[in-house]
Structure 1
Amino acid sequence: MNIPKGKLLIIGGNEDRSDSDNEMEKINQNFVSHEILKLLINHENDRIEVITTASSEPESMRQTYTETFNQIGFTNFDFLHFDEEQLHSDFYIERIKAAKTIFITGGDQNKICNKLNETEISGILHEKYKNEEGFLIAGTSAGAMCMPKIIIGEAVNGEAMLKDDIKMVSGLGLIDSCIVDTHFVHRGRFSRLAHAIILHENHLGIGLGEDTALLIEKGDQAMCIGSGNVVIISGKEILQTNTNTAVKGKPIYAENLKVHMLTDGCCIHLTNGAVKPPL
């Protein structure tokens, strides 16, 4: 297996930016202003292309991130909101090829996957991620959820896990053997990610808190960054579950589902699940 030369940055949403309203940022002693978004570039001239295709309000996204990037001091960035014509335009394809960072905003993860999967743009992203040193693909909220091979397409966000209350679909395929959920604590999404992992026991569930991210290097070495936490759910040691026998609408149970809690500076190996505390 070839080790990717690029990096991934998956963000739980509501990262510190011009319109952020996260109370945790104000009281957490580890909070650093714009800490996560500052990771988008290594050098001041690095080109950022912001993909707003997941959003139903691309102009609002454009305004917010323009203000935020200006505050940080970024100067070399622009926005793409792909329609069918742009997906096949040499001009936009060349912009993706020339970018040092691709940043996918929030919205609906299904929109971005339906638009980009099996396109030349998707192929370029995979190629650059695998082979280009220093290349970064970042995503926040839906932009993070869309990155794995299998993603949560639809789910009932209730307290109980019910048979057939979750729909898994194909994602962009940049992350193997993990399923990502965002706004994880704030929106009470433990049950839906746990259900996804019970259905896919060999995958690792990544529940990203707001203003919190995992920076993934070499394909599976991840560090937690930000003012919240990341919840890791493992189903690899499940002893009992009724997911294969329950009828539609009946609650799902599982024995020996395991959970890890990561905070700023913690590291996790996404293949073997080993966790390291902050240095």
Structure 2
Amino acid sequence: MKRWLGWLVAGLIWCTQSSAADAVPPQGALVIIGGALRADNAVIWQRIVALSGGAGARIAVLPTAAGNPERSGRNIAAQLNRHGAAAFVVPLAPAYKQRDYRRDAEDEQLAQNIRQAGGVYFAGGDQTRITRALVRPDGSRTAVLQAIWEMYERGGVIAGTSAGAAIMSSTMYDETRSVIDTLTSGVSDGAELAPGLGFIGNDIFVDQHLLARGRFARMLPAMLKKGYKLGLGIDENTALVIRGQRDVEVLGYQGALLLDLQQATVDGALAQFNLSNARISYYDRGDRFELPSGRYTPSADKIDGKVDPAHPANRQPVYSSDILGHNAVLILMERLIDNVHTQALGIATAAPGEPHPELGYEFKFSRVAESEGYESASSEAYTVLRLRLDVRPLQISQPWYR
């Protein structure tokens, strides 16, 4: 109960603080990385350095989320420096054995070093370590967090991977379960959900490790619970670069999903999770789009690749027996957008030993009038815009034999 009240107070104070900040968009940029950023993904590392000021840019590395902050901070700083930065580690993390992270978060010298930098990079790990270290118990900003905001507002960069991506929205996942268990059991404040740092604003939910771990579905109950209409899910080894006016560019290995619940409804008569008339889009690397309008600019290899629905390339029905599997939702969307069939089904069921094995979910994807697709001229890759998504519960029969 105390924990829940603490989060409630923190959230109320945070919303009051951030509403003033939202009035004037920050002049800086966000680089939100979906986790598992590889050392050889030069395009993302180079963009962080370039946005932070180019060669010699001072970038503060915060290994706050890491279980081994010494190693994490050292490796990230070295990687940024290989691409021309002058990165330095801010020794602020609950896992440092001989330091007091609460005292470090109020250290004016550390805050000043960040204030004078061109960028900040949050390492991956446990996102609650970041919020615990940077937000005071009453919900107000520590000296270090205030310095990060000032750097961002004047034109600096905030980058973060995995846990460092989760904190970008005003709500983040905390105590996580499997995706199917999250759908079945629901989410609540102070348990599965906790306040983030809200760098992207209060109107967009952010999640990470999206396609690799099938997490797109767990975004839905969180968004419904907190009233988000738009959600961004970023895949591993991939980044979204977002500027203050919400111009978004996709960089790296793969892409990101945009979930739009502006027209979505829920049947309150059903006890189980359900959703109708949502929209789901996949933006591939090199694509650009705007939030919240969704105005799209294709990557160079897709400029002349708009899919003609009158002449579809595929004729096979589209179905997935494990829509939460690795890349399953992306494969289904790509096959549907250029197909004679206008609907595709994906099924999600509990793994052995999970709660409620009798419950499953049907994910129905439909190509509607506003749906569009763009095919790459150089690879087997698509951008898929505005498919309709409906989710309904299923009763799963048990084996007839024992």
Superposition TM-score, scaled by structure 1 size = 0.85
Equivalent residue, structure 1, for 2:42: 34
Letter in 2 for 1:208: I
Letter in 2 for 1:193: M
Equivalent residue, structure 1, for 2:147: 124
Letter in 1 for 2:160: G
Q: Does 1:217 align with 2:246?
A: no
Identity of counterpart residues, as a percentage?
26
Equivalent residue, structure 2, for 1:112: 130
Unaligned ranges ≥5, structure 2: 1-22, 93-100, 136-140, 301-402
Query: Is contact 1:184-1:208 (8 Å) kept?
Result: yes
Aligned with residue 17 of structure 1, among 24, 39, 43: 39
Measured at CA, do residues 185 and 136 of structure 1 come closer, stay the same or move farther in structure 2, by a change above 3 Å? Answer: same
Alignment length, in residue pairs?
A: 257
Query: Is contact 1:157-1:191 (8 Å) kept?
Result: no
Query: Is contact 1:233-1:260 (8 Å) kept?
Result: yes
Q: Deviations along 1:249-274, whole A, 9 cap, x unmatched?
A: xx311011211001112122222333
Equivalent residue, structure 2, for 1:57: 68
Query: Is contact 1:226-1:263 (8 Å) kept?
Result: no
- Equivalent positions of 1:1-279 (< 5 A) are 1-17=23-39, 33-42=41-50, 43-74=54-85, 76-82=86-92, 83-117=101-135, 118-130=141-153, 132-133=154-155, 135-159=156-180, 161-165=183-187, 167-176=192-201, 177-242=203-268, 246=271, 251-279=272-300
Query: Is contact 2:257-2:281 (8 Å) kept?
Result: yes
Q: Deviation at 1:277? A: 2.0
Higher RCO structure (Cα 8 Å, ≥6 apart): 1
Unaligned ranges ≥5, structure 1: 19-32
Q: Deviations along 1:102-157, whole A, 9 cap, x unmatched?
A: 00010111110121122122222222222x23x10110110011011122223322
CA distance in 2, matches of 1:39, 1:207: 20
Letter in 1 for 2:193: M
CA distance in 2, matches of 1:154, 1:220: 29
Q: Deviation at 1:240? A: 2.6
| 3-state SS, counterpart of residue 55 of structure 1 | coil
Letter in 1 for 2:128: N
Query: Is contact 1:3-1:218 (8 Å) kept?
Result: yes
| 3-state SS, counterpart of residue 180 of structure 2 | coil
Query: Is contact 1:154-1:168 (8 Å) kept?
Result: yes
Measured at CA, do residues 69 and 127 of structure 1 come closer, stay the same or move farther in structure 2, by a change above 3 Å? Answer: closer
Q: Deviations along 1:234-258, whole A, 9 cap, x unmatched?
A: 111113344x973xxxx31101121
| 3-state SS, counterpart of residue 179 of structure 2 | coil
CA distance in 1, matches of 2:90, 2:130: 12
CA distance in 1, matches of 2:106, 2:176: 32
Query: Is contact 2:230-2:258 (8 Å) kept?
Result: yes
| 3-state SS, counterpart of residue 71 of structure 2 | helix
Q: Deviation at 1:63? A: 3.8
Of residues 98-107 and 76-85 in structure 1, the stretch that sits farther from structure 2 once superposed is: 76-85
